[in-house]
């Protein structure tokens, strides 16, 4: 039993390391700078200014926080789907699936690094908010905020895992990713109050990651305690876990179908 745990843990760590190396093999400092530091800033500035032009300076924090936390989706979606989908392009998928290794441990390991990457992104984005746009963090409980960010990044990674599995069978990975990212801009409440959306849109918001996370982040920064946002955070964690489970099941189903129909090699 202990051996099992140990094996899975090792798989997990190997996956994480692989992801790390894969990410940094092609990465140059300039690229990291562009995607981790400049792009989030650009996004926050754009939507915040647009928001200010509509509703005035006093509401700036709404847009700043919304977009800052939404940045988690960059790592969660693009990072994770590339990790998962990367196997297909590298042609290693059939080999992987030929092993008795625990798939969940394998893929969670890969996602792990991107969760860390995502947290970094959100922190940098919030930093920009403080430095450039006067975001006020004085009433924030640091632990609550940290937990919120961690949980939100986890749940977006869950979505990423699901999207990654879809990308295994569809050719248009970037289309799927881009669409998901941009739709999240609408439905997560990053730029629009969820309560002002029509009913059907609210329903969609509630089943997507980020929605509760962003709401919790706004409240925590406004001064709420951890206990007060706990329901939101619990919901976010559960949702993330659900996505991971669905993604995993989908992956197992694809694997089964692939083996049955002999399409693994033809991916």
Partner 1 sequence: MNLQAVRMSARVVVAAAEVTLRQNIVDAFVLFTILLQPLVIAVLAMWMLGGRGSENAIFVVIGSGMTGLWSSLLFMGGNSINWERWTGTLELLVGQPSHMSLIVFGKNLAVVLQSLGSMLASYALAAAFFQAPLHIAQPLLFGVSLVLMVISFVCFGLVIAPIFLMNPQVRHWQNAMEFPIYMLSGFLFPIALLPGWTTPLSYLLTPYWAARALHGTSGGTASSSETLLCWGMMILLAVVYAFVSRWLMDVMLRKARADATLRME
Binding site for partner 1 (CB under 8 A): 28, 30-31, 34-35, 38-39, 42-43, 45-47, 49-55, 172, 174-175, 178-179, 182-183, 185-186, 191-192, 196
Least spacing, CB of residue 241 vs partner 1, in Å: 28
Give me the DSSP letters along 8-44.
HHHHHHHHHHHHHHHHHHH--HHHHIIIIIIHHHHHH
Look at phi and psi of residue 165 and say left if phi exceeds 0, alpha if psi is from -120 to 50, else beta.
Answer: alpha
Least spacing, CB of residue 175 vs partner 1, in Å: 4
Please name the residues in contact with 208: beta carbons below 8 A apart, sequence gap of 6 or more.
Answer: 159, 184, 187, 188
Query: For residues 100 and 198, which CB has a smaller minimum distance to partner 1 in the complex?
Result: 198
Phi then psi dihedrals of residue 71, to 5 deg: -55, -25
**Are the CB atoms for 120 and 41 separated by under 8 Å?**
no
Query: For residues 142 and 198, which CB has a smaller minimum distance to partner 1 in the complex?
Result: 198
Query: For residues 106 and 192, which CB has a smaller minimum distance to partner 1 in the complex?
Result: 192
Query: For residues 56 and 266, which CB has a smaller minimum distance to partner 1 in the complex?
Result: 56
- The neighbour count for residue 44, using CB atoms within 10 Å, is 27
- The neighbour count for residue 57, using CB atoms within 10 Å, is 12
Least spacing, CB of residue 153 vs partner 1, in Å: 19
Least spacing, CB of residue 124 vs partner 1, in Å: 13
Query: For residues 185 and 229, which CB has a smaller minimum distance to partner 1 in the complex?
Result: 185
Query: For residues 11 and 185, which CB has a smaller minimum distance to partner 1 in the complex?
Result: 185
Least spacing, CB of residue 202 vs partner 1, in Å: 14
Q: Could you give the C-alpha distances from 109 to 29, 37, 114, 152, in angstroms and in order? A: 24, 25, 9, 18
Least spacing, CB of residue 15 vs partner 1, in Å: 24
């Amino acid at each position: 039993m202990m051996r099992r745990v140990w094996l899975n843990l090792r798989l997990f760590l190997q996956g994480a390391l692989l992801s790390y190396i894969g990410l940094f093999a092609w990465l140059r400092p300039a690229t990291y700078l562009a995607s981790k530091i400049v792009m989030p800033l650009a996004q926050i500035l754009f939507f915040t200014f647009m928001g200010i032009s509509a509703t005035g300076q006093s509401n700036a924090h709404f847009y700043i926080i919304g977009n800052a936390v939404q940045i988690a989706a960059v790592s969660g979606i693009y990072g994770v789907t590339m990790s998962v989908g990367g196997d297909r392009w590298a042609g290693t998928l059939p080999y992987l699936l030929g092993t008795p290794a625990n798939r969940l441990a394998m893929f969670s390991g890969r996602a792990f690094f991107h969760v860390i990457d995502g947290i970094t992104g959100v922190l940098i984005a919030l930093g920009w908010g403080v430095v450039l746009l006067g975001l006020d963090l004085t009433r924030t409980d640091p632990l609550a905020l940290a937990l919120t960010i961690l949980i939100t990044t986890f749940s977006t990674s869950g979505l990423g895992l699901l999207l990654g599995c879809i990308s295994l069978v569809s050719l248009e990975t970037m289309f799927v990713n881009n669409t998901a990212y941009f739709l999240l801009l609408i439905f997560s409440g990053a730029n629009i109050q969820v309560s002002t959306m029509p009913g059907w849109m609210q329903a969609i918001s509630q089943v997507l990651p980020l929605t509760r996370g962003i709401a919790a982040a706004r409240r925590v920064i406004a001064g709420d305690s951890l206990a007060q946002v706990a329901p939101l955070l619990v919901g976010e964690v559960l949702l993330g876990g659900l996505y991971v489970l669905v993604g995993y099941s989908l992956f197992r189903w694809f694997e089964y179908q692939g083996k049955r129909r002999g399409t693994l090699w033809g991916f």
